[in-house]
Amino acid sequence: MTDNNELIRLSAAALAEKLAAREITAVEVTQAYLDRIAAVDGKVHAFLHVNADEALAVAAEVDAIRAAGGAAAEELHVLAGVPIAVKDLIVTIGQPTTAGSKILEGWHSPYDATVVERLRAAKMPILGKTNLDEFAMGSSTEHSAYGPTRNPWDLDRIPGGSGGGSAAAVAAFEAPLALGTDTGGSIRQPGAVTGTVGVKPTYGGVSRYGAIAMASSLDQIGPVSRTVLDSALLHQVIGGHDPRDSTSLPDPLEDLVAAARTGHVEGMKIGIIKELHGEGYQAGVENRFNESLELLKAAGAEIVEVSCPNFKYALGAYYLIMPSEASSNLAKFDGVRYGLRVLPEHGPMTIERVMGATRAAGFGDEVKRRIILGTYALSAGYYDAYYGSAQKVRTLIQRDFDAAFAKADVLISPTAPTTAFKLGEKLNDPLAMYLNDVATIPANMAGVPGLSLPGGLADEDGLPVGIQLLAPARQDARLYRVGAVLESLLEAQWGGPLLDKAPSLTAPSLSDSSPAASTAGAASSHGGSH
Amino acid sequence: MTDATLSFEEAMEKYDPVLGFEVHVELNTKTKMFSSAPNVFGDEPNTNVNEVDLGMPGVLPVVNKTAIESSIKIGLALNCKIAERCRFARKNYFYPDTPKNFQTSQYDEPIAYDGYLDIELSDGTMFRVEIERAHMEEDAGKLTHMGGATGRIQGADYSLVDYNRSGVPLVEIVTKPIEGAGSRAPELAKAYVAAVREIVKNLGVSDAKMERGNVRCDANVSLRPHGRERFGIRSETKNVNSLRAVEHAVRYEIQRHAAVLDSGEPVTQETRHWHEDTRTTTSGRAKSDADDYRYFPEPDLVPITASREWVEELRATLPEPPAARRKRLQADWGYSDLEFRDVVNAGVMDEIEETIAAGATATVARKWWMGEIVGRAKNADVDPGQLGVAPATIVELNQMVEDGKINNKMATEVLDGVLAGEGTPAEIVEKRGLAVVSDDAPLLEAIDAALAAQPGVADKIRGGKIQAIGAIVGAVMKATRGQADAGRVKELILERLGV
């Protein structure tokens, strides 16, 4: 039996091996994570709901099957018994699904999302539902109606968003794996600022059925983990065609796990996107990015520069398409069939007024901001200028990617322009908040896959920096192939995983400790004044 | 409040009507347009729904392939072009019968467009109605407003919503403006909707029952002074749901518009509600071109591609068009125009065709359906075809009469027995002891008695007044309780009297 503290720090792949070898039990693993959640989530607030009983029951079932042996044990999925956390935008039978919004407080879905069905089929215990910006609208998780999640590296800082809960849960060792959703960077940017791995698959690569839609043409569910291989393992569980999602790709899934296990960069062309670094990017972010380029070059990759001139329009176009689709997707939350219903205090009780009162009370400011923006952009007389033009920009971005991928096998950039900012710092400055997604949005606009992995700690604040890899559509395997190599080169340099340098969260003198050691490429670490 | 109207004749003297129709056809697919829930009419409210139909968070639509096939068939039957690639869009508006608060519909990319339909009016005049488009969409749920006096949402205490209909596949057929119908506009309106209904029924893509809302018509009417090219302002009368009502509603709106125009006021562009009881319309919602549904392409669906091969395969499966079929059948059967129109109006054309196929002559089939069954169906308030008379039954009955086993009067009695579920004609004849008396002895006995009772009549017949024989035949039939063959009785009487 492994000590609890060691158990929770094992990768999902390592857990899977030990479970298969019957060195540990799924109940032990699940209980260790539940204990960790009980110990640290009061500080981190990654979870909105903890699903202890069901998770332990699933774990016990896996243990019983393994103990009985035979064909049933043989047929267990490789991740059977490995626990997972699910972003609370993804519907689950038996647990509430809130989307981080008051308008869905207490709502229970009558059906499971396709990805949840697949987790259940793999017999992965679901630890609970993780916090997010309301309806996944935000880059800091501060827009959750249930309070912000905090960055395990520095509890005064944001964990990124919208999937701050999933990233923080994995970074704080409250879960080995989590599901996220990425519309403009909501998996990758939280991964970057929490020192974890996050993957946005090719659009259509993972079923969206049961992910509460923000922007249907941009949303994609993906894995959150601590290692590249773990993301590949999870991606393999959730990916593949789903007849319930018309935008789901018919192609069979590539062997992503094999890609992550073999890893390969020699002779590959890796393209630096001219427009996605330099000006506007924090110096420490640039430094870590350049280091990664050197490591890849040393490992035999050819570094080339590519230009994507239309990326400068991506953010603007994104903030037309995303709110337009969101304004329509969120129309169903009206108090008529489910969720919150608020009756107007004065005046006649008409259906319009009940809908209005419900939406006024149930939605937060950022959600309202985007609904208003989108409603306006779709209005007659404005449609062509706004939504129509934004769609044209989208085509131009796709062409930029096509041209770039003609020159390079994968593209590389920092995931986010800065490290984690302080809670409240950008809450009243939506534009500054939106700028955080400048490097992640192009992938969503073009439907191409992207992976963020830890690139070290920034010199000036000792906080994690994310490196983003981008591949052509349906070439997700390349991300894992290159990501695994870069990860191993970096970890060799650091002497272990980056998260080893994160504060323990349970040490009594936490408030005085430095969040990061200085060996991870940071010349000094003076961040994290907790 | 009643709106002023002009007489139809006066309205026609002054103005030229322009019509337009939006006909919604509910498809009879097994499942809904975008979900796997059953598409069934008349079940308990909110039982034929799943999470997609209820607009639950996280759900996604999947297009019903059969609905697309049906839509293409409708497009082809309306002589439309079929789009090689088309998309769905979202029509955004808040209303509780639409669970997502948007309707998934086709907007600027309909699956079928640029068609026409040739309509035959009662006197044989042909009138071409141009079809603008036929597009696919989903039906909304059904609202029932409770507690108010009118059944309208205004004044109701609360409303109930049934989502069984939510997501039922619809094809909306939109005409181009129909000009030149003149005083025949109301008749054309009825004939057009009847033709569309007949086409979709003939294609087998809809149950086409107007009383169930399978075919629903919105009728647009505008008037302009004779000789003016520019259209007047139109009204749109919603949900005119019987053929008769379509005719009446168009006529009424023409008369109402004429009165408005005569008063010097502009016609209001609005929707109107049709009231069958008073045969009038009342003002609904003011509708302007500024209605903003914020249409945009449905991002949860991929474009629909209809390959030319597929379209041609579907075209090859189309049944004969109803108008062509009618022409062929009338010629084959040798019915007069009047006889044939009666058959069509009685709704027994298919039944007669089947009866002929089962072995009856065209005359016999018409005699039975028009003479016997249509009346009984009317009394039972059902369609003649729904009475449950098999074509083989009619052939069997007719054969019995021709063989002299039973007479016509008995045959109708046997038919009633069949309808009452007593068995086959042979069984009923047996069970009820019905058989023509074919032994002459009891007939001669009855004839002698009748002649003796009416000596005056016997003398008349002897004197050459053969038509007087009816009184004797009647008496004999009465005496034999109708079981005699009247022809044989006649022969025997004449024989007896030596005529």
Q: Residue A422 domain-assigned?
A: yes
Q: Residue A256 domain-assigned?
A: yes
Q: Residue A363 domain-assigned?
A: no
Q: Residue A221 domain-assigned?
A: yes
Least CB-CB distance to A331: which of B54, B59, B92?
B92
* Distance in angstroms (rounded) separating the CA atoms of residues B436 and B421: 23
Lowest mean pLDDT among A2-11, A269-278, A352-361, B266-275: A2-11
Helix, strand, coil percent values for chain A (each to nearest 5): 45, 15, 45
Is A162 tagged catalytic?
yes
Nearest CA in chain B to A207: B60
Q: How much is the pLDDT for B426?
A: 86
Nearest CA of chain A to the CA of B43: how many Å? Answer: 20
Q: pLDDT-derived band of residue A527, with 50, 70 and 90 as boundaries?
A: very low
Q: How much is the pLDDT for A408?
A: 98
Q: Does the CB of B289 have a partner CB in chain A at under 8 Å?
A: no
Show Cβ contacts of residue B445 under 8 Å, excluding neighbours closer than 6 positions. Answer: none
Nearest CA in chain B to A353: B94
Question: Do B63 and A90 count as a contact with CB atoms less than 8 A apart?
Answer: no
Q: How much is the pLDDT for A2?
A: 54
Q: Model confidence over B137-167: pLDDT tens digits? A: 999 999 998 887 777 777 788 889 999 999 9
Show Cβ contacts of residue B138 under 8 Å, excluding neighbours closer than 6 positions. Answer: B32, B33, B34, B103, B104, B105, B166, B167, B168, B169, B170
Which residues numbered 83-102 in B keep a CB inside 8 Å of some CB on A? 90, 92, 94-96, 99-102
Q: Model confidence over A280-331: pLDDT tens digits? A: 899 999 999 999 999 999 999 999 999 999 999 999 999 999 999 999 999 9
Q: Residue A197 domain-assigned?
A: yes
Q: Best of A208, A212, A336, A352 to disrupt the B interface by mutation (most B CBs within 10 Å)?
A: A336
User: Residue A512 pLDDT more than 80?
Assistant: no
Q: pLDDT-derived band of residue A517, with 50, 70 and 90 as boundaries?
A: very low
Q: How much is the pLDDT for B37?
A: 97
Q: How much is the pLDDT for A529?
A: 38
Q: Does the CB of B60 have a partner CB in chain A at under 8 Å?
A: yes
Residues of B in contact with A327 (CB under 8 A): 92, 294
Nearest CA of chain A to the CA of B290: how many Å? Answer: 8
Question: Which DSSP state fits A106?
Answer: T
Residues of B in contact with A107 (CB under 8 A): 57
Least CB-CB distance to B55: which of A332, A352, A378?
A332
Q: Residue A364 domain-assigned?
A: no
In the predicted model, what is the mean pLDDT of chain A?
94
Q: For residue A324, give both structure tokens.
A: 């337009």
Q: Does the CB of B57 have a partner CB in chain A at under 8 Å?
A: yes
Question: Do A110 and B56 count as a contact with CB atoms less than 8 A apart?
Answer: yes
Single out the residue of A205, A246, A242 nearest to residue A222, CA to CA.
A205
Single out the residue of A285, A235, A271 nearest to residue A442, CA to CA.
A271
Q: pLDDT-derived band of residue A520, with 50, 70 and 90 as boundaries?
A: very low
Q: How much is the pLDDT for A530?
A: 38
Residues of A in contact with B299 (CB under 8 A): 215-217, 247, 325
Q: How much is the pLDDT for B290?
A: 55
* Distance in angstroms (rounded) separating the CA atoms of residues B22 and B172: 6
Q: Does the CB of B301 have a partner CB in chain A at under 8 Å?
A: yes
C-beta separation of A96 from A106 below 8 A:
yes
C-beta separation of B55 from B45 below 8 A:
no
Is A87 tagged catalytic?
yes
Q: How much is the pLDDT for A501?
A: 96
Q: Is B469 helix (H, G, I), strand (E, B) or coil?
A: helix
Q: Model confidence over B203-212: pLDDT tens digits? A: 999 999 998 9
Residues of A in contact with B56 (CB under 8 A): 91, 109-111, 337-338
User: Residue A526 pLDDT more than 80?
Assistant: no
Single out the residue of A139, A118, A325 nearest to residue B92, CA to CA.
A325
| Residue matched to tokens 């129109």 | B341
Q: Model confidence over A250-264: pLDDT tens digits? A: 989 999 999 999 988
* Distance in angstroms (rounded) separating the CA atoms of residues B254 and B183: 10
Domains, chain B, with CATH or none? 8-314 (no CATH), 320-432 (no CATH), 440-497 (1.10.10.410)
Q: Does the CB of B157 have a partner CB in chain A at under 8 Å?
A: no
User: Residue A113 pLDDT more than 80?
Assistant: yes
Residues of B in contact with A380 (CB under 8 A): 290, 292, 294
Q: How much is the pLDDT for A331?
A: 98
Is A166 tagged catalytic?
no
Residues of A in contact with B161 (CB under 8 A): 336
Blockwise average pLDDT, block size 10, chain B, 499 residues? 89 97 98 97 94 97 98 98 98 95 96 96 90 97 85 80 96 98 96 96 94 94 95 93 93 97 92 91 73 93 97 96 90 92 87 92 93 88 82 90 83 87 86 75 85 87 85 86 82 83
DSSP string, A408-437: -SEEEEESSSSSPPBTTSSTT-HHHHHHTT
Q: What count of CB pairs under 8 Å joins A to B?
A: 103
Q: Residue A119 domain-assigned?
A: yes
Q: How much is the pLDDT for B179?
A: 96
Q: What's the CATH number where A489 sits?
A: 3.90.1300.10
Residue scoring higher pLDDT (B494 or A3): B494
Question: Do B56 and A111 count as a contact with CB atoms less than 8 A apart?
Answer: yes
Q: Does the CB of B143 have a partner CB in chain A at under 8 Å?
A: no
Least CB-CB distance to A97: which of B57, B153, B290?
B57
Residues of A in contact with B100 (CB under 8 A): 331-332
Q: pLDDT-derived band of residue A461, with 50, 70 and 90 as boundaries?
A: very high
Instruction: State the total domains in chain A.
Output: 1
Single out the residue of A165, A238, A232 nearest to residue A207, CA to CA.
A238
Question: Which ipTM did the prediction report?
Answer: 0.93
Range of the domain at A492: 4-311+395-512
- Give me the helix-helix angle, B391-402 and B425-432, nearest 10°: 50
Least CB-CB distance to B101: which of A97, A109, A334?
A334
Nearest CA in chain A to B98: A332
Question: Do A212 and B58 count as a contact with CB atoms less than 8 A apart?
Answer: yes
Least CB-CB distance to B299: which of A99, A107, A217?
A217
Q: For residue A38, give both structure tokens.
A: 């009980």
